[in-house]
A and B are shown apart, each in its own frame.
Chain A
């Protein structure tokens, strides 16, 4: 088990390296310099600025500096907000995005797992058709459609929930629903499919042949095996939730990291866009590592290999 964890940990290194190198090369392959504004800049000021951002050094030296800074978790200064470091912006924005994303994922799991199980157990009955039709609809309605529609229904036509901003828990209801619905649909479908597959496997017949109660058969034999695909979905799921939070924060005016990201992208704030991409990249890679190790722990066959 320890060897397995260490092996996975070592596997992260090339991924991180590729992430860092790819982003670095992208920045330097990009046409134009971030210093190119609407008006031409006096040569002297330009030289000063280039020196300040080390743009005048050879590429390999810049790469070394870049790696060194990231190793120290220092993403540099924002081009746009002159006095604010990217680190500060991440420190302000990420907790907010984490709360919205975390609750959304939790919402998807807490509702989706039981729903998928019910659909599987009642396969080809009314409950199954309702759950499957509903989840197919859920997958087909993007968060940037669901969000505005919810604002119309719950904030404009009725004054039930605040349309945006951050305050009490009421502010989280619509963003979490808008972001979580699609993953709820995914989790439901995944859970249904895997439960049906496990229920068909011979070892479940063995468990029944042993005279165990249906409860024990389900909790001890079916559930752990059926949950495995959902566990492996957590990695890409978390990445997708972080991505989705970019839109949802935009719709509901939530001051999270995703909103900074879009503003930075629209304003071509190179360092901020790069910093957030790197930060999310590292977060997602580390999260995948945790999920991998968790999976290996849950499925004895994986670690054994």
Chain B
């Protein structure tokens, strides 16, 4: 297979969708670990993107993320996904504490005409690594999460796309008076993903 070679330059729509959805899956897991949403002992180490990442091993969380990842891949292939947002909200008050934004820009030409793009795997991996490191480093500036929290994933799709049966419309679950930190972006030449985190800003006491 071509994957034996150091670089695989041709990127198809399907391949790009796979890369991006997989990246989102790892990002979500990484955020769950770094922000301590679930206990650290529920995470297992996985080698990926040339670094060690932590993946949630709890069955229900895994199933939830996997289902969504699959749906995201489908949407990416049709070019209808505009944004994926991971929301971390307090369990007791339901207040949204953090919003991790992944904005996706689709390349129309690829989706409509089926042309392919070129970019080396290594470059994409470097970009993904950078975001993963930024997620890990984000704990230094994000406020401490002091209470039990849950997370949720929101998908922004275009209005003309169909709503799958298991999905429901939701509100944006925005944060009041947020602080926003832009993270790096990845670009597969088909999908461009810009990451960003918004968090609830509390004034000094």
- The finding on whether chains A and B are genuine partners in a shared complex, rather than unrelated, reads no
